[in-house]
Amino acid sequence: MSGRTQAVRSLAFLFPLAIAGMVFSCAADLARAQQRREREPWSVYAERRAKLLAQADGPIVLFGYTGMEEEAQTYLFSQEENFYYLTGYNDEGAGLLLVPESKNHTAGQIEGNAPREILFLPPRNPRKERWVGPRPGPDDPDISQKTGFAVVKPFPQMRASLEKLARAYDNFYTILPYEKELGGYPHEKEWTQYVQQSVPQAKLNDLRAKIGALRQIKSPGEIAFLTKAINASDDAHLAAMKRMRPGLYEYQVAATMLYTFSDQGCEAPAYAPIVGAGWNSTVLHYDTLSKKIADGDIVVLDVGGQFSGYAADITRTLPANGTFTPRQREIYEIVLGAQNAAIAALKPGMGLGRKSKNSLFEIAYNYINSHGKDKQGRPLGPYFIHGLGHHIGLNVHDAGDPDRPLEPGMVITIEPGIYITEENLGVRIEDNFLITNTGYKFLSENLPRSADEIEKIMNKAQTQPAQPARHD
């Protein structure tokens, strides 16, 4: 998925999800938690917290989403990514307090028997639970088993805990307010003010970069979840290849893909599906999905599923009628060649960014620029208008510096593209890769990429009768 965008969860016309925006409404009282099929062992989250805490010389304070971020009737609560990464907790209204060891406090404790890790949860709300079902509460007798935390307290007690710690620590760490394309961490200002009011004399430090650095290296459990999301998304793309034909609407193709990966356990799309035919194929984040696909159209399908919170991101470009025109095939082969050139160089130490020391982007760009021309005879490099790839994980554009050299355990995309608006011709090919000690593992390799393979699958399927478009 090209560009910089967050996972979108509001696709009411296709799927019951909603984006975690900045809207407040009483409808949020009825928010349901997004189902996560699996999670990692509690010990994995505890290890992450320990790594993070080892980098801090003061308490760490984090907040999960409140459940009041969206008013849509289709809203399903989905936890803030950094909070989920450290806790595995996927219900609203939670807080986290981590306290480092220091020379004044014995290992494992502060101020006598005070704990170093506390999960704060909202008190149980019987009225709300009549509508949405039981939620974990701080006073549940088995709450430690449900959360993996030895100490769980009611959220209203967090302020007193912070005020007490302020007597011993000058530095506190949290996520500070910042600007982001789609809004960022909800209520950042409010939560920052909450901490500032609780510890007014302390210095607040932004924790975002430290968590992001940890998130770039995936655990075995994260890789397993990503693999499940990718495999289901591969099958969704294959189903789209088999259904694609002139006369369908873009949204019908998207619906087939959503059904396919949902049927395999994906709880949501990882982002708003992109199915763009004809001129729409040149729009990077096209999401209207309203065009009737015409004979001769090229169609870009950038669609991925989310499994247990982890996002796949796969793109294929198809000829609507099952056969590429000569020009479509020419551009397709150039994009595929650029992707193959970047893949051949993929290994630890390489970089995704344009400014990276060993830039994979430059390899792909140079290939495109030297292998084809537009109708005016100009090189095609300027038609490659986005980055080569990005990290995937709890977000489809996961935490990660594109200029940081690749390391084993990172999971990334490679996605060159050419977009020629004057020819109604856009082509993007995107796949997912795990960086290993010696090179890479091609996670989405089961999904055909060659023009010949795609045509063979589509032509075989198009001998079968298609369901008519509803608007006919």
Phi and psi at residue 176, to the nearest 5°: -85, 155
User: pLDDT (tens digit, 9 = 90+) per residue, 147-186?
Assistant: 999 999 999 999 999 999 999 999 999 988 765 544 555 5
All structural domains of the chain, each given as residue ranges with its CATH number in brackets, are 26-215 (3.40.350.10), 220-461 (3.90.230.10)
Task: Measure the CA–CA gap between 423 and 95, rounded to whole angstroms.
Answer: 52
- Residue-wise pLDDT for 22-54, tens only, equals 222 333 344 567 778 788 999 999 999 999 999
Q: Is 292 in contact with 472 (CB distance < 8 Å)?
A: no
Q: Averaged over 409-420, what is the pLDDT?
A: 98
* φ/ψ (deg, to 5) at 411: -125, 125
- pLDDT of amino acid 21: 29
Please give the pLDDT value at position 113.
63
The residues, ordered by sequence, that sit 6+ positions from 106 with a Cβ below 8 Å of its Cβ are none
* pLDDT score recorded for residue 465: 66
- DSSP annotation string for 32-71: EEPP-S----HHHHHHHHHHHHTT-SS-EEEE---S-S--
Lowest mean pLDDT across 112-121, 133-142, 240-249: 112-121
Quick one: pLDDT at residue 22?
A: 28
What confidence score (pLDDT) does residue 132 get?
Answer: 83
Smallest Cα–Cα separation from 178: which of 193, 189, 190? 189
Chain mean pLDDT for the chain: 88
Average pLDDT estimate for 410-420: 98
Label residue 79 exposed, middle or buried (CB < 10 Å: 0-12, 13-18, 19+): buried
**pLDDT band, residue 111 (cuts 50/70/90):** low
Amino acid letter, residue 241: M
Question: Per-residue pLDDT averaged across 111-125, rounded?
Answer: 86
The CA radius of gyration of the chain, in Å to the nearest whole number, is 24
Q: How far apart are CA 65 and CA 53, in angstroms?
A: 22
348 burial class (0-12, 13-18, 19+ CB within 10 angstroms)? Answer: middle
The pLDDT assigned to 186 comes to 56
Q: For residues 196 and 163, is the Cβ–Cβ distance under 8 A?
A: no
- What local confidence, expressed as pLDDT, does residue 26 receive? 33
Phi, psi for 151 (deg, rounded to 5): -125, 120
Q: What is the pLDDT of residues 279-321, one digit of tens each?
A: 999 999 998 999 999 999 999 999 999 999 999 999 999 999 9
Provide the pLDDT for residue 314: 98
